[in-house]
Amino acid sequence: MNNSPSKWMIKNGIFAASHGGKSVLYGHMVIENDVITYLGEEEPADQEGMTIVDGRHQFFIPGLVNSHGHAAMSLLRGYGDDLALQVWLQEKMWPMEAKFTSDDVYTGTALSVLEMLKGGTTTFLDMYDRSERVAEVVEQSGMRAVLMRGVIGLCSEEEQNEKLNQAVQFVRDWHGKANGRITTMMSPHAPYTCPPAFIEKFVQAAHDLDVPLHTHMSETVAEVEQNVRDYGLRPVDHLEKLGVFTRPTLLAHAVHLTDEEIQKLAAHKATISHNPGSNLKLASGVARVPDLLRAGVVVSLGTDGPASNNNLDMFEEMRLAALIHKGVSGDPTAVPALEALRMGTEYGAKSVFLDNTGVFAVGMKADITSLNIDQPHFLPFTDFISHTVYSASAKDVLHVWVDGKQLIKDGVSLTLDEEKIRREAQLAFEGLLTR
């Protein structure tokens, strides 16, 4: 990554930003080094050394935040479709993941980071094994990320402790690295893969390291029923009993919740990564997003891994979030377009406990995605928030900046070698088949 100081002015753009009661602003943005220093209608004077971007024909949104995923699983895209979660995990994913080398994790993650950046995502959360290789890709690409060594505890106590130590060491080694673009969490994979005493160790470690917790929870009916059978409690009460909510906690999925559980999550200020595409594909169900939002829970959007989605297009997740909750509730206002965009940006940042990205405002990190609106599906120029959620896709992304550095220019990556990544990903998959 080139870390030289920089100044940018985006002139004559249309920006997604609350302004005088409107949700868009026609104007100009100045970026100095890693932060936004001006956003307004009045055009500032050019300054020496400033790079000027002609913002006409573009709609600028805060960079998208993908709040839950497993990037390296891009190597398993299309391998094991049309299966329910437990069959998919146990019969398809876990046997293949057991063969992953550290280089496979690097290659699969690079493929996903490339896809995410080209699709306008500027921050992603990743739960995976060998997370130091994930961090390497993040450092090289310039992307922002919330990383963790995800741990499955279905093994001996000795192995559990070894994995826990790796997770702790990862936080110690990487929290705040890459110019602050990397933050970390502690992550037991799920209540059905981590015994209670093991989860308690994660809670203690998260306290000691002062980082949040992240886990899968209540993704399927079967797993909730199993939790009740094994521990006599539904997952929210179970995790509460283990002390999980004494830390800031992000829960992936949270599809099957009772009214009481929703109130409890709101009281604990737990946040939720809603993964509509993955939940639909694995037939897991539809999360109670309108009820969660009404209760004051921060709900963001995630793709989950590329093998259960099967892409990393956050525009698709925003659109799905806006559409499916209308469909199941019969209420066309269940998740309006602006709320879906906020779930993909502002709430995304909040849900992963970042307070410096997700909205356009002076002092915030310059994480910016521009859309080429000179295309048929953006006309007429009625409502750009609506067009972003209901009409746009990753293919419309023109430029992307993260931390004030341009990473995508005219749809092309400036930091990653796309051809090499594509070639190596195919070879890595073929290698997995022969091992």
**408 bridge partner residues:** 400, 413
Q: Which of 28, 70, 256, 264 binds ligand LTUXU72L (CB under 6 A)?
A: 70
Could you write out the DSSP letters of every residue in 237-288?
Answer: HHHHHTTGGGS-EEEEE--S--HHHHHHHHHHT-EEEE-HHHHHHTT-----
- Residue number with CB closer to ligand LTUXU72L (128 or 378): 128
Q: Which is nearer to Zn ion, 129 or 304 (CB)?
A: 304
Closest residue to ligand LTUXU72L in the complex (CB): 150
Residue from 127, 138, 143, 321 binding ligand LTUXU72L (CB under 6 A): 127
* Helix (H/G/I), strand (E/B), else coil: 394: helix
* 216 near ligand LTUXU72L, rule: CB under 6 A: yes
Find the binder of ligand LTUXU72L among 10, 16, 64, 93 (CB under 6 A): 93
- Residue (152 or 340) nearer to ligand LTUXU72L, CB: 152
Query: What's 365's DSSP letter?
Result: B
CA distance 65 to 117: 11
Residue 91, marked binder: no
The rounded distance, in Å, linking the Cα atoms of 345 and 342 is 5
317 is in an annotated binding site: no
304 near Zn ion, judged by CB under 5 A:
yes
Q: Provide the β-strand partners of residue 124.
A: 66, 145
Question: Distance (Å, rounded) from C-alpha 298 to C-alpha 348?
Answer: 8
The reply to whether 305 sits near ligand LTUXU72L by the rule CB under 6 A is yes
Which residues from 153-212 bind ligand LTUXU72L, rule CB under 6 A?
A: 189-190
* Exposure string for 18-57, b = 16+ CB within 10 A, e = fewer: ebeeebbbebbbbbbebbbbebeeeeeeeeeebeebebeb
Q: Which of 292, 309, 300, 322 is nearest to 385 (CA)?
A: 322
Q: Which is nearer to Zn ion, 285 or 336 (CB)?
A: 285
At CA 420, angle to CA 131 and CA 66, rounded to 5? 45
Which one among 67, 77, 97, 288 touches ligand LTUXU72L, defined by CB under 6 A?
Answer: 97
Interface with ligand LTUXU72L by CB under 6 A: which range of 134-142, 259-267, 300-308, 324-332?
300-308
- Whole-number Cα distances in Å, 19 to 11, 38, 41, 335, 340: 17, 13, 10, 21, 18
Instruction: Count residues binding ligand LTUXU72L (CB under 6 A).
Output: 19
Residue 219 interface partner, choices Zn ion, ligand LTUXU72L, none, CB cut-off 5-8 Å depending on type: ligand LTUXU72L
Phi-psi group of 256: left, alpha or beta (phi > 0 → left; psi -120 to 50 → alpha; rest → beta): beta
Q: Which stretch binds ligand LTUXU72L (CB under 6 A): 98-106, 199-207, 302-310, 342-350?
A: 302-310
Among 64, 134, 146, 152, binds ligand LTUXU72L (CB under 6 A): 152
Binding residues for Zn(2+): 68, 70, 216, 304
Which positions touch Zn ion (CB under 5 A)? Answer: 304
